[in-house]
Structure 1
Amino acid sequence: MSRVSKVQAEENRASVVAAAAQLFRERGVQGVSVADLMKAVGLTHGGFYKQFASKDALVTEAAERAFIDRDAYLAGLDEGHPDRVGARKAMVEEYLSPEHRDDPGTGCPSAGFAGDLAQAAFEGNVSSQQAYAEGVQRFADWMTEGEDDGLVATCTLVGAILLARATSSTEMSDEILRAVRDSIGESLT
C-alpha cells in the first residue's frame, strides 16, 4: 500500500472539509455519515480518522470553511459596489431569492448549520458553536452600517430563509422571501 505525500494529504483534508461544508448544509450533520462523506470525495472511510479526531472536529472545520467562503463572497460584493449600502442591497436580493432558498448546500452557513449547532449545545460540541458564533458575528458586522444593528438584520435574514425553506412547497415560501426582502430593502439607506 502506497503512502500519500504530505501535500496530497493536505489536499485530501481540504477536499473533505469542503465537501462536508456543502453536504452538512444540504442534509444536516446527522444526515451525512463519515462513509458517505469519504465516498463523495473518493477516499476510504478509514482515511477519515487519519485526518480528523472525530466527526465533531470536522463539523467545526466545515463550519469555519463555510463562513470563510461566505466572507469572501461578502468582500466581493464590497468590491463590486461603490458603497456598503449598494453591497447590502445586492446581498439581500440574492439572499432572499428562490435560488438561495433552493440551494442550501452552497448557501448561507448561518442558516445551513443553525439546527445542527443548536443541537450541539446539548451534546457538548462547544468548538463548533464557537466557530458558528464567530461567523454569525462577522455577518452581523458586515450588515451593520453606521448606528444600525446588523445583528437584527442578520437574524431576520436567517430566520426568513429558514422559514422559506421549511415552506418551500407552498405559496407562503415566496411570500416570506418577498415580504422580508421588501422590509429590509426599505431599511437600507
Structure 2
Amino acid sequence: MKLESMSRTANSRKEDTHERIVGAAARAICRQGYGGVGVADVMKEAGLTHGGFYAHFDSRDALLVEALERAGRESFEALTRAAQRNAGKGLSAFASLVESYLADRHLASLDTGCPVAALGCDMPRQSPPVREASVLRVRRLIAVVRATLPDAPATTASVVASTLVGSLQLARALGNNAEGRELLAAARRALMQQYDHPATAVH
C-alpha cells in the first residue's frame, strides 16, 4: 500500500506540473501567438527548468495542441459563466455571447478571450497537428454561436462567428482606446439589431 500511495503521489505531482506547463503555454499562445511560444520561456513561467519539458511532451507542437485546447476550453467556460450571470438580466443567449465576446476588457489583455481571434491569421501556417487543433477550435466557436441561434440557417452561425472574430481583431489592432472600444460597440449594436431574438433567451 505504501508503494501504491507513493506512486499515486508521484503521478499526481506529475499531472500538476503538466497542468502548470499547459496553463503557462495557453496564456502565452494568446498573448504572443504561436511563434512567441518558446519552450524555455513557458517552462520558466511555470517555475520549472527547461530540461524537464520532454518528460511531459514529445515536441513543441504537442505542447501547442494542448495549449490551444486549454485556451479554447477556458474561453468557452468564460462565455458560459457570462451567460449564466446575464440570464437574470433578461438578455438572450445570443446577446450574452456578443456582449461577452466583444467586451472592452479583451482590448487590454490579449491573453484573455477567444484563441481563434488571437491566432486566426497564424492558423493556416502551422504544422498539421497544430492546424488540426486550430480547425477544431474554429468549428467549436461556430457551434457555440449556432446554439444561441437555433432557428436561424446553419450558415448564419458562420457569418456571426466571422464578425465576432474580425471585429475583435480589428479593435485590438486599433488599440485599447476610444477608437477600439467604439468599433466593438458598433459591432455589438449591428449584431444585436440583425440577429437578436427573444426566443434565444437563456432560462
TM-score scaled by structure 1? 0.86
Q: Flag structure 1 segments of 5+ consecutive residues without an equivalent.
A: none
1:12 CA drift (Å)? 0.7
Matched-pair contact (CA < 8 Å) for 2:26–2:71: yes
> Which amino acid is the alignment partner of residue 115 of structure 2?
P
> Which amino acid is the alignment partner of residue 143 of structure 1?
V
Identity across matched positions, percent: 33
Output the CA distance in 2 between the equivalents of 1:85 and 1:152: 21
Matched-pair contact (CA < 8 Å) for 2:141–2:161: yes
Within a 5 Å distance, the mapping from 1:27-38 to structure 2 comes to: 27-38=32-43
| CA RMSD across the alignment | 2.3
Within a 5 Å distance, the mapping from 1:146-157 to structure 2 comes to: 146-148=151-153, 149-157=156-164
Within a 5 Å distance, the mapping from 1:30-179 to structure 2 comes to: 30-80=35-85, 81=87, 86-120=92-126, 125-144=127-146, 145=149, 146-148=151-153, 149-168=156-175, 171-179=178-186
**Number of aligned residues:** 182
> Which amino acid is the alignment partner of residue 24 of structure 1?
I
> Which amino acid is the alignment partner of residue 188 of structure 1?
D
Partner of 1:188: 196
1:52 CA drift (Å)? 0.9
TM-score scaled by structure 2? 0.80
Q: Flag structure 2 segments of 5+ consecutive residues without an equivalent.
A: 1-8, 198-203
Change (3 A) 1:73 1:97: closer
Matched-pair contact (CA < 8 Å) for 1:137–1:151: no
Larger radius of gyration: 2
